[in-house]
A and B are shown apart, each in its own frame.
Chain A
């Protein structure tokens, strides 16, 4: 299975990414950002939202309804791969701006689970603790870390 995704651009530090969502509502710029949460643990928050073409403001609450949510999530997954190529030890935390958005994230992980579980440790946050992600289960938040793909032969 291949990731259906948009092409995207990144800043020099690979912390910020931008791509264009294309659909019935037109071309909508979206920005993905990885923000440092805890330096010692190399924990980053992953979030994304729409960029207003006129003001440049970023909004993660807007409902774009551009008919391409799966492709958008595929693009976010691709950005995670790109980010982890630069920061292979990083932990990446993500949660939705609403419960519905968090469920959308879960759906995205479910859809691409077979691809990403080969390369990432994936956990979901229950009421009490982190547990390994179980397909179909609802979580408050998610956290992933790139598996160590380097070994000596």
Chain B
């Protein structure tokens, strides 16, 4: 299945990704560095998009004229396959004061994303075909990029009874997750893994042992000891991953482990993969760029679950991303209203926004210092749909256009011009980052344009 929307996969089932219909783009980007590690291209080219399809990637100056096409000077810019985020919270239904499908997809497009997968811990949660249908209807009116919706594994996210997973899959659920909460009961999870044989769909898991996490609000370690705040030990995550990988192996099921935060977790995943478990996993930009040292400020913008951990954990995540133990980058974009963050740390809601800063943060902190090659970052930021059956976008002739146009030298201060997201709980707020998305084409439509980015239109 490609990154496209509204039934282009042609099956009898409902399409997994939905978005607002829009006309296909006509666009010529002249003299841009086209970089796609999957197709192996890294060269300055003219990139031509006609009716939403990549019509040509030609030698500079060789682009044909297209009537009414937008012509962009790509000098000094990068054209990348657009990113795919397997983990966002768009808060619909029920918490539209934090985000909705319009603002959420706008934030995603502003971050260079052409598709995202929205979690189901909404109010009410997406645990029935009726609720799933209603959010998909809204996405068809409001989403500027394709959105896939997971449905819950258990009713009401209570961790006790399975949802009607087969019906939900037919109604368009792209996978299943109780994200926000772990499925603490191993018997319930085991039933879900068995039922996957009927319903299909990967089961994405928020890995945490609620008894070990207890009332923890940050990583358990030197910083929590100094601040006197209750800690979430790394073993809360890693022991749960170990248990659930064993269950997945036993049932022959496919799982996707969400937001890895600790070295021990990376090691569990590596062991599981070596043992033949069908497991994929993700890590988030904040865990790859920040550590619990940031929490010394007691600023609730650094509060999320799982928490920021130590430099050693961060290094393990980077290594896991490099060697492929970690399959993809996921923002875990979790918008919250200011009144939920402008409170003492222990009281604050968990979660940070991330869609608009993901590429710039990782480009600034990992690529520019030479920690990771840009090609690897692109691969990991575009592969997020694969665990859910969505192929990574490719820059090649004939493909549906999913591309991000990026100025790799533009330095900007996060939040200075506001955010596209309705919420502004960014852990990178106020930081100067390098690398900015100027334009995003998602499923063939221009989904985002940096406002200051001047464009010419050919007559």
Chain B associates with chain A: no
Q: Which residues from chain A sit less than 8 Å from chain B, CB to CB?
A: none
Q: Which residues from chain B sit less than 8 Å from chain A, CB to CB?
A: none
